[in-house]
Amino acid sequence: MAGRLSIVATPIGCLEDITLRALRVLKEAELILAEDTRHTRTLCSKHGIKTPLRSFHAHSSNEKVAAVVDALSNGAHYALVSDAGTPLVSDPGAHLVSLAAKAGVAVEAIPGPSAVLAALCVAGVPVRRFIFEGFLARGGKQRRQALERIRDSEATVVFFESPHRIHATLRDLEEYLGAEREVAVCRELTKLHEETLRGTLPRVRAALADPTKGEITVVVDGIRGEGPVEEVDVQALVGQWKSDGMTTKEMTQRLREDFGWKRNAAYQAVLDATSDDD
């Protein structure tokens, strides 16, 4: 009987940010496949997990992957973790999951911390849709294409960046996107020195220490569309907001901030909804 591969999300900073289910699965598994066993051992020691660790990362050989799949096919239960956050999101492991699934192994997700989602939560920009770019290419055609995608995207864009390159990346973003695009630079999420800088590109770049330190996640506001990116009952929203005593200006601002509308489109939608009530 085929075994089970558990894809387990682990903390991105604070070691307390792990689910009860993740702790149970890590204890029950026969083996933990870890991107860096030294890093994962710290987590295991914190939570009393005594499961053996084995190194498994992007440079693991095909023979090593095949051996893991063979063990899983014969009934083993392994857990796969990355250094931090949710495995396979800008991390290795897709090849293993693909082969395991094809071999009939049950592959399950044990959800939990994610730097991408944490950054979106605190960025303060509309998040009806988003695109994750991983790490931007360091230069050349691929970098130019990535910057152009971010420039033209109506969806919010999230990507990771090195502290050594963040200032150069913010300069490039300003060159491609202009000085008015809103961004959030999230540094050291969930850690002691967590910091989120929000505002236009020049403002955020000026506020960010140079040089800076720590792991960085960048959130870029998308191009504001003429209407919502999802179906919204504006009539009902405006009716509720009016009963709460909100002004036309305040309702317009809410449509812009919560749903990503352009100012003129949001204002007109509020006027139309209020005129229908009259």
pLDDT tens-digit profile of 129-183?
899 999 999 999 999 999 999 999 999 999 999 999 999 999 999 999 999 999 9
DSSP letter string over 241-254? HHHTT--HHHHHHH
**Token pair of 188 as six digits:** 């050291």
Is the pLDDT assigned to residue 227 strictly greater than 80? no
pLDDT tens column, 5-14:
999 999 999 9
Give the three-class secondary structure for 187: strand
How far is CA 68 from each of CA 5, 39, 53, 127, 132, rounded to the nearest angstrom? Answer: 10, 21, 13, 38, 29
CATH of domain 116-220: 3.30.950.10
Q: What is the pTM of this model?
A: 0.83
More confident residue, 268 or 193: 193
Domain residue spans of the chain: 4-113, 116-220, 234-277
**SS3 at position 31:** strand
% of the chain surpassing 90 pLDDT:
72
Tens of pLDDT, residue by residue over 75-128, are: 999 999 999 999 998 887 899 999 999 999 999 999 999 999 999 999 999 888
Residue 157 CA to residue 134 CA, distance in Å, equals 10
Mean pLDDT of 215-220: 98
**Between the CA of residue 197 and those of 87, 216, 250, what are the distances in Å?**
27, 11, 24
**CA pseudo-torsion sign 107, 74, 62, 65:** positive
Q: Is 109 helix (H, G, I), strand (E, B) or coil?
A: strand
Confidence of residue 277 (pLDDT cuts 50, 70, 90): low
Nearest-CA neighbor of 223 among 254, 253, 256? 256
Tracing tokens 């988003």 back to the chain, one arrives at 130
Average pLDDT of the chain to the nearest whole number: 92
Which amino acid belongs to residue 164?
A: H
Number of neighbours of residue 231 by Cβ within 10 angstroms? 7
Domain 4-113 part of CATH 3.40.50.1100:
no
Tell me, rounded to whole angstroms, the distance of Cα 109 from its chain centroid: 16
Q: Which residue has the higher pLDDT, 269 or 50?
A: 50
Tokens of 41: 């051992």
44: CB partners within 8 A, 6+ apart: 26, 32, 50, 51, 53
- Under 8 Å between Cβ of 217 and 132: no
